[in-house]
């Protein structure tokens, strides 16, 4: 837990934060409404005698009383998909609409991409991209299992993504759930901090900046870009968004979130950020008994 000490000045009730990080994370699933209604998924779980608790902030999120959420009948038939509760947040903030063109820049293994398709009633185009060819098979498998027919899979480096294969020249929305140092996953991955270093944070933040800038460039004026990570490092969160604000035509906008959270930072380690970054959300493990996440919503202005 030593790397997390650097966040003591910015986390309210830091001891509760550390205690939550030490506790194992429970199992959660998302109801896949492409295949089943919430009511039908709940009935399937009850028929299996699998206990569940619906999340107050989102009825499609279920906390299951089982150690094998992927082995249930409902999962096998695509009624549910194992997805950490806080991982459901970015597509909800993105708020995709039926018929739109949406780009998930770093999509594998497909949890958020298929969630986007479900939020669009599987009507429109979801371009699910990943640069790691080895992870593409998992992305395709999940798309097929969950019945996401609106989903198209591509394999490109998102920093230099080309729209040439498509008949359109811009997306309506884009999700950048960026590769990161994964500090916020420590409850399910106890070894998440084993290879932690500030050099790694600096390295990955450079990649994040390139992906977010390309997402803004590839989204139409008035469109939405959501940037998210599962880490606490301001270098990978507010600093990356600040880089996009400085380099591209976009602005940070407010959004509603049913989960308890802290505002984004406007200063870190002597570096100042735009005051609008307070509109971003920092979700800490002790606030909702979840993993950690950062989410910012941008509007493309030109």
Active site members: 230
Q: Convert 201-241 into a string of H (helix), E (strand) and C (coil).
A: HHHHHHHHHHHHHHHHHCEEEEEEEEEEECCCCHHHCHHHH
Q: What CA–CA distance (Å, rounded) separates 34 from 256?
A: 24
Strand partners, 87: none
**DSSP class of 57:** T
Query: In angstroms, how far apart are the furthest CA atoms of the chain?
Result: 56
Gap between the Cα atoms of 201 and 69, Å rounded: 32
The alpha-helical segments, DSSP class H, found in 57-197 are 73-76, 89-94, 111-119, 133-145
Q: Which of 225, 240, 224 is nearest to 277 (CA)?
A: 240
Residues facing 222 on adjacent strands = none
Residue-by-residue DSSP string for 113-135: HHHHHHHTTT-SEEEEE-S-HHH
């Amino acid at each position: 837990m030593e790397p997390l000490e650097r966040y003591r000045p910015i986390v309210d009730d830091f001891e509760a934060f550390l205690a939550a990080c030490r506790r194992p994370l429970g199992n959660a699933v998302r109801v896949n409404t492409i295949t089943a209604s919430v009511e039908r998924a709940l009935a399937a779980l009850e028929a299996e005698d699998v206990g569940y608790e619906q999340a107050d902030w989102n009825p499609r999120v279920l906390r299951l009383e089982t150690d094998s959420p992927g082995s249930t009948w409902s999962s096998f038939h695509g009624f549910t998909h194992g997805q950490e509760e806080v991982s459901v947040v970015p597509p909800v903030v993105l708020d995709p609409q039926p018929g739109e063109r949406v780009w998930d820049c770093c999509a594998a293994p497909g949890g958020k991409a298929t969630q986007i398709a479900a939020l669009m009633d599987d009507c429109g185009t979801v371009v699910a991209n990943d640069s790691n060819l080895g992870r593409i098979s998992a992305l395709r498998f999940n798309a097929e299992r969950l019945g996401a027919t609106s989903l198209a899979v591509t394999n490109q480096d998102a920093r230099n993504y080309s729209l040439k294969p498509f008949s359109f020249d811009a997306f309506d929305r884009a999700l950048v759930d960026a590769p990161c140092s994964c500090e916020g996953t420590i409850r399910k991955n106890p070894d998440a901090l084993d290879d932690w270093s500030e050099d790694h944070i600096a390295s990955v933040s450079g990649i994040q900046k390139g992906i977010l800038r390309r997402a803004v460039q590839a989204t139409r004026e008035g469109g939405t870009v959501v940037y998210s990570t599962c880490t606490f490092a301001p270098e990978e969160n507010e600093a990356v968004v600040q880089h996009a604000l400085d380099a591209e035509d976009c602005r940070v906008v407010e959004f509603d979130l049913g989960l308890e959270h802290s505002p984004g930072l406007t200063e870190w380690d002597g570096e100042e950020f735009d005051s609008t970054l307070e509109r971003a959300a920092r979700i800490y493990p002790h606030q909702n008994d979840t993993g950690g996440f950062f989410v910012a919503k941008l509007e493309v202005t030109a």
